[in-house]
Structure 1
Amino acid sequence: MTNVTLEVVGGVDTHADTHHAAVVDTAGRQLADRQFPTTEAGYVALIGFLVSFGTLLRVGVEGTGSYGAGLARALRAHHIHVAEVIRPNRQLRRIRGKSDPIDAYAAARAALAEPDLPVPKVADGQVEAIRQLLVARRSAVKARTAAQVQIKTLLVTAPTPVRAKYRTLTDTALISALSRTRSSEDTTTDATLRALRSLARRHQYLTGEIADLDQTLEQLVTATNPALAATKGIGPVTAGQLLVTAGDNPERLRSEAAFAALCGVSPIPASSGKTTRHRLNRGGDRHANAALHHIALSRMSYEPRTRDYVAKKRGDGKTTKEALRCLKRAIAREIFTLLTSNVDVPRIDDLRPLRQARGISIETAAHHFGVWPMKISTIERGKRRDDDFTHTYRQWLLTT
């Protein structure tokens, strides 16, 4: 007879076609294990198996972002606490052996011993849609780059007339010209032109696909987190990646220090003897790290406050890499606030009507403030966020 007052913890070793579940009590004793198919019926049977042994405290699941994603959603739907378990390291596996039951019991014991394991991403909202679009975009960018490299490589060994005709063109003009090439009577030249035309048209198609994905991404990112999308130096792709890193449930991030570690920008002590220093963190989500790196480089190119910050760090004796690491850590702190808090975005939809109602051109406004007309345009269209300038610009329009 099942003891319904018994408290148990589950563990699941996930695979593409099957999941192996195991149950232990709060003392770590093995109770039972069983294999289930990765179907809706299999998830229901697995959950029924786990709860049949008593009060289920939590379930440790390996691979909640891959093979275990469906099971994690099913467990959350039944209001069961899910913990993300990292597979045992290879040294432990060499000692204990490797099998599905062994891994399932190891996951259960990990969930039992460490109640503060990471909470997995929900992966069923708008952020999951953004992730899927980013995967497609990343693939398209990689394929477009490969096509462009192949074009340049073919031109190096192309027949002399072909090489002489196209070698001086810019990349944009080269792709456009090659997409319109015609056949040649010479067999080798004709084959070369056909290959170049095919690659150029592939490049054009992928460029259009990337532009379409970027437009959809911008809409989704703005709808999901307007404050992040409007932040200075952050574009739709970098904002989308940071949202994906946090997940649809950013409340799972315990602190801004945890988010910095997740992005691989937390300082790692590297002191020895009389030397006291920190080094770059080479762990964490490298896509998120790259996004923070792009934001840092963007702000360093035009934002005075960021330049002053880097100059101060350099004045303190830090190298350029160390100053950049500190800057990325500071940006991570700012991003964490935007991801986990509701930040109001100042309205900008009144700026253009206000300017047009007073008969002021963009060029006139730009000349007054000593900036490029593009800055006025991007501020009015919400493509760039600069709260201080927006406030000054609005006051000028109201008093002009």
Structure 2
Amino acid sequence: MKDHESVDVFIGVDVGKTNHHAVALDKNGKKLLDKALPQEEAKLRAIIDSLAKHGTLLLVVDQPATIGALPVAVAQDAGILVGYLPGLAMRRIADLHPGEAKTDARDAYIIAEAARSIPHTLRSIAVADEQAAELSMLCGFDDDLAKQATAASNRIRGLLTQIHPALERAIGPHLDHPVMAELLRKYPTPEALRRTGQNRVAAFMTRLAPRAGKRWAEEIFAALDQQSVVVAGTGAAGVVLPQLAAQLAQLRTSRAEIFAQVETLVEAHPLHQLLTSLPAVGVRTAARIITEVVGKEFKTAGHLGSYSGLAPVTWRSGTSIRGDHSSRKGNKILKRAFFLSAFAALKDPVSREYYDRKRAEGKRHNQALIALARRRCDVLFAMLRDGVLYEAPQIKAA
């Protein structure tokens, strides 16, 4: 970490929801402070002010976001250095200290001691970017909405499979279209659909799905003809399905509203044009890059690849175990964003050529996609490092 030599006091803070614990050490390891403090700005400022007489301060936390956001913000506002000790590094360092107790005071001491004696384990925390902070919160909420929408969709398909499998095969594959949720809200049971009639259902669906509404109505009524018996629980499904369909529709509306706000923030960010110049980097991928990459220091493309969980892990043990495997570590949010972006990039000729080459080498589909994601990660690192837009290389003729 930069400026470590100039630090006189190392403050380790084990953050908590309502209370933190702070331990401060001087350069010689002498303990200057060891106390609990509430999640309050005034108390945090008082601690910083009381230690300022000893010289330059460095405050290190184990969580720089969520419950650790306030201590970081107060320290940055006070003009002192701020650092972050990753959880994995902290656990490994804790194994080197005597005792097996797990207390806030011990954790805070370990953080402070690591900051004092093992500075290379620390990560710097840049002054918060308001746009990045807003994007992080909105993207996190969007992820939650996406999980809830998937759960509601799966629940609808499960209920339809239980009461009328053929109907599920007609509706389920198209459940992503808004018309299907509206259809189930209005006509939630096979009997309700039969009473309404194919013509009225087709007219209803055509209003929201002009091209496919009539064809889907035909498929639905063809499916209804395949089952005449009424399965137990169909009546209860008629109560549950409209509510699930309404929930699914509301979740999708909320996601659309969040996406509009994310799009506005991404377009206003200085790196918008640079990031979106890379093929298959849309609003959501650009937002994830801004929240997970921008503001962090990566010396090489390999460091960024490792942080993203895209660097292959080599396994070697004698002559019996050999091979390279994808990492299970790294930033899972960023890894997923790069992976999905690589999948979308298969329409790009340059990316497709690289993917096909990896497939020809014997790699499976997912392996080739991860390789492509890593290559695009390297390209992105160079773009961010040099501040240049993406330029597609020429594809060599076969």
Deviation at residue 290 of structure 1 after TM alignment: 0.7
Deviation at residue 190 of structure 1 after TM alignment: 4.7
SS of the aligned residue for 2:119 comes to coil
Structure 1 residues 299 and 182: CA distance shift in structure 2, 3 A: closer
CA distance in 1, matches of 2:378, 2:234: 57
Deviation at residue 110 of structure 1 after TM alignment: 0.5
Deviation at residue 303 of structure 1 after TM alignment: 2.1
Match of residue 241 from structure 1? 288
In the alignment, is residue 156 of structure 1 matched against residue 161 of structure 2?
Answer: yes
Structure 1 residues 140 and 322: CA distance shift in structure 2, 3 A: closer
Could you tell me whether the CA contact under 8 Å between 2:316 and 2:323 is conserved in 1? yes
In the alignment, is residue 210 of structure 1 matched against residue 265 of structure 2?
Answer: no
The amino acid across from 2:381 in the alignment is F
In the alignment, is residue 143 of structure 1 matched against residue 148 of structure 2?
Answer: yes
SS of the aligned residue for 1:168 comes to helix
SS of the aligned residue for 1:35 comes to strand
Q: Give the CA RMSD over aligned residues.
A: 3.2
Q: Where does the alignment leave 5 or more consecutive residues of structure 2 unmatched?
A: 1-5, 193-229
SS of the aligned residue for 1:48 comes to helix
Superposed counterparts of 1:42-53, under 5 Å: 42-52=43-53
Match of residue 197 from structure 2? none
Deviation at residue 109 of structure 1 after TM alignment: 0.8
In the alignment, is residue 168 of structure 1 matched against residue 170 of structure 2?
Answer: yes
Superposed counterparts of 1:270-281, under 5 Å: 270-273=315-318, 277-281=323-327
Superposed counterparts of 1:251-330, under 5 Å: 252-273=297-318, 277-300=323-346, 302-315=347-360, 320-330=365-375
**Deviation per CA, 1:254-312, whole angstroms, max 9, x where unpaired?**
33322211111123222344676432111111111011111211222x22222322343
Match of residue 221 from structure 1? 266
How many residue pairs end up in the alignment?
Answer: 338
Question: Which of 307, 319, 343 is the matching residue for 2:388?
Answer: 343
Q: TM-score, normalised by structure 2?
A: 0.75
SS of the aligned residue for 2:66 comes to coil
Could you tell me whether the CA contact under 8 Å between 2:288 and 2:334 is conserved in 1? yes
Structure 1 residues 322 and 112: CA distance shift in structure 2, 3 A: same
The amino acid across from 1:83 in the alignment is G
In the alignment, is residue 109 of structure 1 matched against residue 92 of structure 2?
Answer: no
Deviation at residue 70 of structure 1 after TM alignment: 0.9
Could you tell me whether the CA contact under 8 Å between 1:166 and 1:174 is conserved in 2? no
Could you tell me whether the CA contact under 8 Å between 1:279 and 1:322 is conserved in 2? no
In the alignment, is residue 97 of structure 1 matched against residue 97 of structure 2?
Answer: no
- 238-247 vs 252-261, which moves further: 252-261
CA distance in 2, matches of 1:315, 1:180: 51
Could you tell me whether the CA contact under 8 Å between 2:342 and 2:376 is conserved in 1? yes
CA distance in 2, matches of 1:320, 1:27: 55
Deviation at residue 337 of structure 1 after TM alignment: 3.5
Q: Where does the alignment leave 5 or more consecutive residues of structure 1 unmatched?
A: 346-384, 389-400
Could you tell me whether the CA contact under 8 Å between 1:259 and 1:336 is conserved in 2? yes
Deviation at residue 212 of structure 1 after TM alignment: 1.7
Deviation at residue 243 of structure 1 after TM alignment: 1.4
Could you tell me whether the CA contact under 8 Å between 1:36 and 1:45 is conserved in 2? no
The amino acid across from 1:148 in the alignment is S
Match of residue 14 from structure 2? 13
Deviation at residue 99 of structure 1 after TM alignment: 2.3
In the alignment, is residue 29 of structure 1 matched against residue 76 of structure 2?
Answer: no
The amino acid across from 2:44 in the alignment is Y
The amino acid across from 2:186 in the alignment is R
Structure 1 residues 280 and 34: CA distance shift in structure 2, 3 A: same
